[in-house]
């Protein structure tokens, strides 16, 4: 859907740009895989998902089911889009926003002295004080956030369904994506 | 054609044709891009709509799965706990201690080993009313949903033989606590322990094996979570969280609560 074949000039010789799309593909697949796994693990035990959300003590009770049951679906959907390589920029932006919110939530739990597991991959809720892993969780989220931002800036990668890399066409600048 | 530097008419016509052809090609490209952009927009809207529908359906389905409104509570639950706890001691006692425990939780076992005698003395002296809230938050840490099965068995014992038998059964469950990460006690084991606590008979056995109060266990756990449970053991003395789950801290908190 994105090719406009006939008018494209011959490919430019591979320069510094040749490796970047493959790096983007790797980031996209890792990020997509993480989202799918993280979302899917929260679906089998909905009551535990609610407890994980409540453990943050951030949202009123009425919002808990919406977050506990809705967010995992959103996570799986983001992951599928990223894995497929379709609507990569919107998915990457949403991914970055979600990760920013999650990182802030974990950091706030840390700052308030709560002793919880982030619930990032199912589980969640209460843990012993010596079993918290806030630093690891924050660092992991920040790394994934960086990957999301990279994909937001450069959504076109190799092995993608829609957002394939394509050779630059005449008169196109880098900013030709919708 | 004011821009044409060509003098020969033939060459001028050829150049004009080329320019027209180039413009057509450009228009075609533009049209193709317009069409692909529109298709992309439509596909995007469809994907977004699909995600919204999936979120709504999942919220509805998961809400139904967690709905325990028609859970049947066992007999003998404590007043003021919406049927989710068992009380030991006099209702007139000046101080109320709420104890939330998961039978698979090692810290709960440690608390019981340390503070069970203290609680018994405080109850016997009429100083406190202990409300035991068994919860199942550690199902994922056993192969066979032991937390839920254990709380269900405790409810069956309470239902059949009363709160004293429940208390004994709880003590036995902590004494025989299985390790996290493996199988829990089998239903046979639970039936045998129930008999030692004074609850016997086919009805007790069926209740344990058939998870008679399974919905109630989910309901009680959910209520505890809504009440602020973030870990076990969670001990509250007249509504105040106990900082450390020890007999010493409990005694001090009870004395402080009595004023």
Residue A2, pLDDT above cutoff 60? no
Helix (H), strand (E) at residue A125: strand A125-126
Q: Is B237 left (phi over 0), alpha (psi -120 to 50) or beta?
A: beta
pLDDT score of A172:
44
Determine contact: B22 vs chain A, CB below 8 A: no
pLDDT score of A165:
80
Question: Which residue from B105, B116, B29 is spatially nearest to A170, judged by alpha carbons?
Answer: B29
Residue B55: half-sphere exposure toward Cβ, Cα within 13 Å: 17
Q: Is A164 helix (H, G, I), strand (E, B) or coil?
A: strand
Summarised one tens digit per residue, pLDDT across range A111-125 is: 998 888 888 887 777
Q: Which residues of chain B are within 8 Å of residue A122 when distances are taken between CB atoms?
A: 140
Determine contact: A17 vs chain B, CB below 8 A: no
In terms of pLDDT, which residue wins out, A130 or A76? A76
Residue A168, pLDDT above cutoff 70? no
pLDDT score of A117:
85
CA–CA–CA angle A154, A155, A161 (5° rounding): 150
Sole residue written with tokens 């092995």: A159
Sole residue written with tokens 């920040």: A142
In terms of pLDDT, which residue wins out, B220 or A11? B220
Q: What is the 3-state secondary structure (H, E, C) of chain B?
A: CCCCCCCCHHHHHHHHHHHHHHHHHHHHHHHHHHHHHHHHHHHHHHHHHHHHHHHHHHHHHHHHHCCCCCCCCCCCCCCCCCCCCEEECCCCCCEEEEEEECCCCHHHHHHHHHHHHHHHHHHHCCCEEEEEEECCCCHHHCCCCHHHHHHHHHHHHHHHHCHHHHHHHHHHHHHCCCCCCCCCCCHHHHHHHHHHCCCCCHHHHHHHHCCCCHHHHHHHHHHHHHCCCCCCCEEEECCEECCCCCHHHHHHHHHHHHC
ipTM: 0.81
Nearest chain B CA: its distance from A146 CA (Å): 24
Q: Is A118 helix (H, G, I), strand (E, B) or coil?
A: coil
Cβ separation A2–B36 shorter than 8 A: yes
pLDDT score of A15:
46
Q: Name the band, by pLDDT with cuts 50, 70 and 90, for residue A9.
A: very low
CA–CA–CA angle B132, B134, B136 (5° rounding): 160
Residue A32: CB partners within 8 Å, gap ≥ 6? A78, A79, A80, A81, A82, A83, A84
- Nearest-angstrom CA–CA distance, A46 and B230: 16
Determine contact: A79 vs chain B, CB below 8 A: no
Nearest chain A CA: its distance from B62 CA (Å): 6
pLDDT score of B80:
85
Cβ separation B137–A66 shorter than 8 A: no
Task: Pick B55's closest partner by Cβ from A1, A74, A122.
Answer: A74
Provide the β-strand partners of residue B132: B86, B99
Relative to beta strand B95-101, strand B128-134 is parallel
The residue in chain B having the minimum alpha-carbon distance to the alpha carbon of residue A78 is B51
Q: Which residues of chain A are within 8 Å of residue B54 when distances are taken between CB atoms?
A: 73, 77
pLDDT score of B5:
55
Nearest chain A CA: its distance from B21 CA (Å): 13
Q: Which residues of chain B are within 8 Å of residue A57 when distances are taken between CB atoms?
A: 230
| Token pair in block for residue B163 | 């709160």
Question: What size, in residues, is chain A?
Answer: 178
Residue A178, pLDDT above cutoff 70? no
A140 vs A11, A136, A145, A173, CA distance in Å?
38, 6, 8, 34
pLDDT score of A17:
57
Least confident range from A61-75, A77-91, A124-138: namely A124-138
DSSP label at residue A56: T
Question: What size, in residues, is chain B?
Answer: 259
Residue A13, pLDDT above cutoff 60? no
Cβ separation A70–B218 shorter than 8 A: no
pLDDT score of A167:
57
Cβ separation A51–B54 shorter than 8 A: no
The residue in chain B having the minimum alpha-carbon distance to the alpha carbon of residue A7 is B29
Q: Is A170 helix (H, G, I), strand (E, B) or coil?
A: coil
* Cα-trace Rg, chain A: 19
Summarised one tens digit per residue, pLDDT across range A31-67 is: 999 999 999 999 999 999 999 999 899 999 999 999 9
Summarised one tens digit per residue, pLDDT across range B174-202 is: 999 999 999 999 999 999 999 999 999 99
Phi, psi of B4 (to 5 degrees): -75, 125
DSSP label at residue A70: I
What residues of chain B score a pLDDT lower than 50? 1
Average pLDDT in chain A: 84
pLDDT score of A177:
45
């Amino acid at each position: 859907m994105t090719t406009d074949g006939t008018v494209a000039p011959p490919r430019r010789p591979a320069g510094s740009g040749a490796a970047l799309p493959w790096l983007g593909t790797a980031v996209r697949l890792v990020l997509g895989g993480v989202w799918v796994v993280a979302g899917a693990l929260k679906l089998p035990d909905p009551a535990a998902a609610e407890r994980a959300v409540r453990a943050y003590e951030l949202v009123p009770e009425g919002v808990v089911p919406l977050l506990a049951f809705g967010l995992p679906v959103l996570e799986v959907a983001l992951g599928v889009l990223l894995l497929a390589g379709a609507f990569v920029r919107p998915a990457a932006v949403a991914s970055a926003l979600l990760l920013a919110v999650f990182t802030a939530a974990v950091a706030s739990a840390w700052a308030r002295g709560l002793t919880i597991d982030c619930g990032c991959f199912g589980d969640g809720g209460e843990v012993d004080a010596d079993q918290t892993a806030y630093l690891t969780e924050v660092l992991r989220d920040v790394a994934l956030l960086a990957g999301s931002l990279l994909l937001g800036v450069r959504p076109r990668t190799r092995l993608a369904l829609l957002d394939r890399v394509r050779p630059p066409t005449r008169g196109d600048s880098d900013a030709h994506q919708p | 054609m004011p821009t044409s530097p060509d003098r020969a008419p033939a060459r001028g016509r050829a150049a004009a044709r080329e320019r027209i052809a180039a413009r057509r090609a450009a228009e075609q490209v533009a049209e193709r891009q317009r069409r692909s952009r529109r298709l992309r927009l439509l596909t995007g809207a469809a994907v977004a709509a699909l995600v919204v529908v999936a979120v709504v359906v999942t919220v509805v389905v998961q809400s139904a799965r967690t709905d325990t409104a028609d859970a049947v509570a066992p007999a003998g639950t404590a007043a003021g706990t919406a049927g989710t706890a068992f009380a030991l001691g006099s209702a007139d006692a000046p101080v109320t201690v709420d104890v939330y425990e998961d039978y698979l939780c090692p810290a709960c076992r440690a608390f019981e080993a340390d503070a069970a005698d203290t609680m018994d003395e405080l109850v016997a002296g009429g100083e406190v009313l202990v409300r035991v809230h068994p919860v199942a938050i550690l199902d994922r840490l056993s192969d066979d949903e032991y937390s839920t099965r254990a709380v269900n068995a405790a409810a069956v014992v309470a239902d059949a033989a009363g709160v004293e038998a429940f208390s004994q059964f709880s003590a036995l469950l902590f004494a025989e606590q299985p390790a996290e990460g493996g199988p829990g006690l089998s239903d046979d084991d639970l039936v045998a322990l129930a008999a030692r606590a004074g609850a016997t008979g086919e009805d007790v056995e069926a209740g344990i094996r058939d998870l008679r109060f399974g919905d109630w266990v989910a309901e009680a756990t959910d209520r505890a979570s809504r009440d602020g449970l973030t870990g076990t053991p969670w001990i509250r003395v007249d509504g105040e969280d106990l900082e450390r789950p020890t007999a010493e801290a409990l005694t001090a908190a009870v004395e402080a609560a009595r004023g």
